[in-house]
Structure 1
């Protein structure tokens, strides 16, 4: 069974996309404040017409971020009280509180987006705008699916319950620590828990996590008239990026290895003594994460040793080579985050019977459109979680009177 967006759904999606909701991790501390409260209230109002009620609408507590596993970028940003105050999460419930978790399904969506505000439009077939695919579109499509389920069975919302988490901080690299994790730990979960991600209409019981390694150089600057007197972070970082990338290439099959940003400075007439080199590494299980972490550490040590040997007898970079170990360090702004790996096949069987195919185990994860379900058959482990157009009408299938997935993202 598929449910199309009706005119009120279409209007809700267009209004939602008009409201900028990119958070501070996306736009920066000096960027515009997200209007997430407003967007979530609009969503809650529409959901209320189906019988949903708001059971929580609030930001995470500061204590939620004062614990292991919180990315460094989040810790730093949260020093400003506005960081949490402007990023609430919304929890909706359809059905009495007395309905037990065993008869509850939870859907996790998000109304925050990546940065940028492209024009919003709908030509009768295609929605265009920030969030059309990720993830205001599927959030609205979910309501259409619930509506279809209610029309199909009076037991939905009476004998079974639906929870919707509309979380903050999905974008920007917060990895769920200020949105999903606090809600899960407060008990807003079901027997079947579905997390919204683009996967061409398939479900996956697995989700990768990622960690960020940072190589920092903190030496002395120099002017271009006397470049040899300083530490050249550009040459050092560039060498480390090349060598570490080559050494880590053999691990690309077990996890995604991304040699990412390299920054020292912007001027043409200055030797920069400081800079940062970033690596992003994803993994599908904890052991692979530990192996990748050890591999990065080993690659760093090897590359640094090679740099010292290669440049110690040069005129321009001898000081950099001599002091390389003192001025260079490897640290981890983000690591140790859990993966989602659901081994209870009952939820998988339920989704298959509902007509949702499984993401092939040997096919690497990717971000695309339309959407998938990322499923977890309780107990749930909180998962870590530029597209602008989606076709209409989005479909929201239902199964045995219960909402299951929206195939549009």
Structure 2
């Protein structure tokens, strides 16, 4: 991706370090930015757009970033995830996205998988050898995830009755489609959410770990606004068994919600990173570009806009870090805080990047310019992992809880 046009780790002029970060955290994020700019960005630039970048994923493993995401003690920390995503996003959005997708696809295994599932897949994910994917969305079930239709049809019966009163099957076959799935159809395994109880809403969904080589599993890539690896998956009688269940049968919606509660603030962190990159180039351009007898920064219309961009970015960052800290501390109201962080930070990033583009004028629209790149990148953040409107619904519901 295009450079943010300043030295990695350098703060924008006139901005003090965030009070919410320790000196150690600030040093770590500066190191991450340097790594992203020098080691990861060249791998991103050399790759084919719209495909899984396996050398980049391998580099995330080689440099220990995936190990930081999935530490040896098994506890995924929201603060570390947010700092990783914010720092990488400032220098290489492709690296940020590759790391986030590894986390999103593999977190259900870390949090809800069996010892055997974790032993089989997590070392491969941490090393950057296995590419993960989180398969929740469907053609008719995007924001309303409880409406998903992918069917898990039972095969045989064994054991005591399940939550619905019916006998537990000895296995299932999956039938239907998933759509807008990041890393599909090139991932090595998928966390797949399927309906095991018809007409049961959120209570009839089970999470399955589905390796990519299962018979009946197919798919094709989709071309999106930003050229990421996103695709459609087809399930034509894909076999899964009790050993593939993540968590409990019919408990998959909880697996999905716990994953999204962790990752929603980090989507906000991604947005904050992009906001910071856009603000830096806007500050540089406004200081160097002359019009109407002086630099753009001396025009009140421009200087006030820069002030608003900086203020909203800092507010978004503080909201993200507060939500992540609350998650790690196990505080109540995490769902509402996560939704607030994701809502405000992504809407802010859209505003900041658009304003930076306006300050640049036509040059910011040139293909290959950082702002042209960020303008395409930022739009999807207001949709995936719960659209802006869904976040407002979650926040309002939590206010009355």
Confirm or deny a common fold (TM above 0.5): no
Q: Which has the higher relative contact order, 1 or 2, with Cα contacts under 8 A spaced 6 or more apart?
A: 1
Q: Under a length normalisation based on structure 1, what TM-score does the superposition of the two structures give? A: 0.25
Compare the two structures and name the one with the higher strand fraction. 1
Compare the two structures and name the one with the higher helix fraction. 2
